[in-house]
């Protein structure tokens, strides 16, 4: 059976759930039909007219980008402006467009993890986990159904903590209930106060998984009315976050690390604050616009932080009371810190859909250029 756009979307969303995207973002299928078959896919950071022409030249059925083309609502789909005209041309060409943006930024092994590994960092972890995205699900299950319900919750995504999955906790107790006359109880008699040996089953659930987990709970539970509670959990999510932090095999002077960043990211120039002679070993990164996480990088003990779109005043945030840089802050460019997303997606998808040809664009999609006099 041919691979569909829907199948590719389902796989990507299992890795990077749409619910983990920032609330201002627009991710998923932007142009095309979910049931369309796919034989060739072009991967690009951005969808541009040049990328569309390349997709047509290579016979691609789908373009997968990191940055969404349709970021804000369109008032029309005409040739009047850049995003609407390109969306129209995609539709006329019969080429789909799928975008995976801040949800891929937030995913384990996502954009910042790829950037960290590209710069040679080891033992990489999230720089900052998502707050206010976790719930504790508690339900009450008869002993004979405990394993079925526990397994169903785990399969739906509950109980994922760090490098572990299927995490849950069960305590034995007694449940009391009185079925009404029209009830069809699993056990007990209508109109009579009854009791049953039950287990209180608890598991942690991410916000974007909660709906699927509750569906699985209702499907697996033997009771006519399933009792459960959902509580917010205050600690940060270990399965989603932004940025990454790790360490180099050996410390090096900042000037050498700057040369590595420029070379490995093919950056024509770097803006930075830092002492060129300072030692760098622990490094934080965030692909794209990550200046909001300078404080987290400092709190993580980073000697250097590599990101993009850093404003002039943000560079002052890494200075100590004497005006000396307490941490190096490096702006390597938005495109430069995220272009590796093309290869990341190509390799990840190719491993899962061997019947589809995945190709990284040969187009440099950034409209920005560096002038060196």
The CATH number linked to 261 is 3.40.1390.30
| Between 188 and 45, the higher pLDDT residue | 45
**Looking at the domain assignment, is residue 353 inside a domain?**
yes
Residues 272, 320, single domain; the answer is: yes
pLDDT confidence of residue 89 = 97
> What would the mean pLDDT of 202-216 be, rounded to a whole number?
97
Give the integer Cα–Cα distance in Å for 216 and 187.
Answer: 21
Give the integer Cα–Cα distance in Å for 221 and 228.
Answer: 11
Tell me the CB-side half-sphere exposure of residue 337, using CA atoms within 13 A: 26
For residue 207, give the CATH number of its domain.
3.30.70.120
pLDDT category at 253 given cuts 50, 70, 90 is very high
Q: Check if the beta carbon of residue 246 is closer than 8 Å to that of residue 283.
A: yes
pLDDT category at 162 given cuts 50, 70, 90 is confident
Give the integer Cα–Cα distance in Å for 301 and 310.
Answer: 20
> What would the mean pLDDT of 132-142 be, rounded to a whole number?
96
Q: Check if the beta carbon of residue 149 is closer than 8 Å to that of residue 274.
A: no
Residues 97, 168, single domain; the answer is: no
**Looking at the domain assignment, is residue 366 inside a domain?**
no
Q: What is the pLDDT of residues 257-281, one digit of tens each?
A: 999 999 999 999 999 999 999 999 9
Given a cut of 90, whether residue 310 has pLDDT beyond it is yes
**Looking at the domain assignment, is residue 263 inside a domain?**
yes
pLDDT confidence of residue 188 = 84
Residue that terminates a domain, selected from 179, 206, 233: 233
pLDDT confidence of residue 32 = 97
| Between 45 and 1, the higher pLDDT residue | 45
pLDDT confidence of residue 242 = 94
**Looking at the domain assignment, is residue 367 inside a domain?**
no
**Looking at the domain assignment, is residue 372 inside a domain?**
no
Cα distance between the two ends of the chain: 56
Q: Check if the beta carbon of residue 66 is closer than 8 Å to that of residue 343.
A: no
Q: What is the pLDDT of residues 78-115, one digit of tens each?
A: 998 999 999 999 999 999 999 999 999 999 999 999 99
Residues 205, 147, single domain; the answer is: yes
pLDDT confidence of residue 167 = 97
| Between 221 and 194, the higher pLDDT residue | 221
Q: Say what percent of the chain tops pLDDT 90.
A: 90
Give the integer Cα–Cα distance in Å for 63 and 55.
Answer: 7
Q: Check if the beta carbon of residue 39 is closer than 8 Å to that of residue 357.
A: yes
Residues near 18 by Cβ (< 8 Å), separated by ≥ 6?
27, 28, 103, 208
User: Considering its fold, how many domains does the chain have in total?
Assistant: 3
Its sign, for the CA torsion 306, 307, 309, 315, is: negative
Residue that terminates a domain, selected from 233, 262, 294: 233
Residues 211, 260, single domain; the answer is: no
Q: Cα 273 to chain center, whole Å?
A: 29
Residue 365, token pair as written in the block: 């999609």
Residues 326, 346, single domain; the answer is: no
**Looking at the domain assignment, is residue 371 inside a domain?**
no
Q: Check if the beta carbon of residue 340 is closer than 8 Å to that of residue 244.
A: no
Given a cut of 90, whether residue 155 has pLDDT beyond it is yes
> What would the mean pLDDT of 59-65 be, rounded to a whole number?
98
Q: What is the pTM of this model?
A: 0.91
**Looking at the domain assignment, is residue 373 inside a domain?**
no
Residues near 64 by Cβ (< 8 Å), separated by ≥ 6?
8, 12, 41, 42, 43, 44, 98, 99, 100, 345, 349
**Looking at the domain assignment, is residue 328 inside a domain?**
yes
Residues 140, 121, single domain; the answer is: no
Residues 119, 256, single domain; the answer is: yes
> What would the mean pLDDT of 65-90 be, rounded to a whole number?
94
Give the integer Cα–Cα distance in Å for 276 and 253.
Answer: 7
Given a cut of 90, whether residue 182 has pLDDT beyond it is no
Helix axis angle, 341-352 relative to 5-15, nearest 10°?
Answer: 110
pLDDT confidence of residue 18 = 96
Supply angle C-alpha 108, 71, 311, rounded to 5.
75
Helices then strands, each counted (H, E), the chain: 11, 17
Given a cut of 90, whether residue 185 has pLDDT beyond it is no
Of 77-81, 120-124, 208-212, 267-271, the range with the lowest mean pLDDT is: 77-81
In terms of residue numbers, what domain contains 211?
134-233
Q: Cα 133 to chain center, whole Å?
A: 13
* Residue count of the chain: 373
Residues 32, 166, single domain; the answer is: no
Give the integer Cα–Cα distance in Å for 210 and 193.
Answer: 32
Residues 83, 162, single domain; the answer is: no
Backbone phi, psi, residue 346, to 5°: -60, -50
Residues 161, 220, single domain; the answer is: yes
Residues 212, 84, single domain; the answer is: no
Residues 140, 226, single domain; the answer is: yes
> What would the mean pLDDT of 306-316 be, rounded to a whole number?
98
């Amino acid at each position: 059976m041919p691979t569909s756009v829907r199948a590719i979307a389902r796989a990507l969303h299992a890795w990077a759930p749409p619910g983990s995207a920032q609330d201002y973002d627009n991710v998923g299928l932007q142009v095309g039909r979910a049931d369309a078959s796919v034989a060739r896919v072009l991967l690009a950071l951005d969808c541009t007219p040049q990328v569309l022409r390349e997709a047509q030249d290579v016979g691609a059925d789908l373009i997968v980008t990191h940055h969404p083309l349709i970021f804000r609502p369109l008032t029309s789909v005409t040739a009047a402006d850049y995003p609407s005209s390109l969306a129209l041309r995609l539709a006329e060409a019969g080429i789909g467009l799928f975008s995976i943006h801040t949800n891929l930024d937030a995913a384990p092994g996502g954009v910042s993890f790829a950037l960290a590994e590209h710069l040679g960092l080891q033992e990489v972890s999230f720089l900052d986990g998502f707050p206010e995205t976790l719930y504790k699900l508690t339900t009450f299950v008869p002993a004979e159904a405990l394993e079925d319900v526990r397994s169903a919750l785990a399969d739906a995504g509950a109980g994922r903590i760090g490098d572990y999955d299927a995490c849950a906790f069960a305590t034995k107790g007694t449940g009391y209930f009185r079925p009404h006359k029209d009830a069809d109880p699993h056990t007990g008699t209508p109109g009579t106060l009854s009791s049953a040996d039950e287990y209180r089953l608890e598991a942690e659930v991410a916000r974007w998984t909660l709906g699927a987990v509750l569906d699985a709970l209702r499907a697996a539970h033997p009771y006519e009315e399933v009792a459960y509670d959902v509580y917010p959990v205050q600690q940060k999510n270990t399965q989603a976050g932004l940025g990454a932090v790790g360490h180099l095999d050996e410390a090096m002077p900042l000037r050498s690390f700057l040369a590595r960043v420029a070379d490995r990211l093919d950056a024509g120039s770097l803006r930075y604050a830092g002492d060129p002679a300072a030692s760098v070993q622990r490094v934080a990164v965030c692909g794209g616009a990550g200046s909001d996480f300078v404080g987290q990088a400092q709190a993580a003990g980073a000697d250097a932080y590599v990101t993009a779109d850093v404003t002039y005043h943000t560079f002052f945030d890494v200075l100590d009371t004497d005006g000396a840089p307490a941490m190096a802050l490096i702006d390597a460019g938005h495109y430069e810190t995220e272009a590796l997303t093309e290869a990341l997606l190509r390799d990840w998808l190719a491993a899962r859909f061997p019947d589809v040809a995945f190709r990284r664009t040969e187009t440099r999609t950034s409209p920005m250029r560096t002038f060196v006099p």
